[in-house]
Amino acid sequence: MSEEKELRIKQDYLQIRAPSSTIDQIRITTYLGTYANSVVLMITQPMGGTGLMWSETVAGYEFGRFSPWERMLVWNDGKFYTLSANNPSHFWISDAFGLGLLSEQNIAEIWHHFQK
């Protein structure tokens, strides 16, 4: 992923989720690939608390992690999506897979990258 795209993603994230944070506090911890115009990544920001467990199953592939405030998101043209409708959030648009931004083959590839 280019530095320009990474900066744009962080700026978009700040506007939507973390307006009181700085760009240096937002970390893209894992880049899981670009599929058509959708960038799949793990992103985190510093927050209080002990962390959370998130999980979702998409096209038969299970994703999940116990992590301090790290989330898997899909970024597409300034908007953030969850992988599926199984993990709704009031910050992100639900269901990149169901909306056709990601195919079943894309989900399989993302899952293989996620397992590494």
- The tens digit of pLDDT for each residue in 71-99 reads 789 999 999 998 877 665 656 677 899 99
Of 89, 88, 81, 86, nearest in space to 36 by CA: 81
Helix (H) or strand (E) holding 96: none
Q: Which residue has the higher pLDDT, 9 or 115?
A: 9
25-29, 48-52, 61-65, 103-107: the lowest-pLDDT one: 48-52
Q: Assess whether pLDDT exceeds 80 at residue 66.
A: no
Residue 109's φ and ψ, nearest 5 degrees, are: -65, -40
Cα–Cα distance, 96 to 63 (Å, whole number): 14
Longest distance between any two alpha carbons in the chain, whole Å: 37
Enclosing domain of residue 43? 3-115
Total domain count for the chain? 1
pLDDT of 106: 96
Residues 8-48 pLDDT 10s? 999 999 888 877 888 988 899 899 999 999 999 998 866 65
7-16, 22-31, 52-61, 101-110: the lowest-pLDDT one: 52-61
Mean pLDDT, residues 55-66: 83
pTM: 0.85
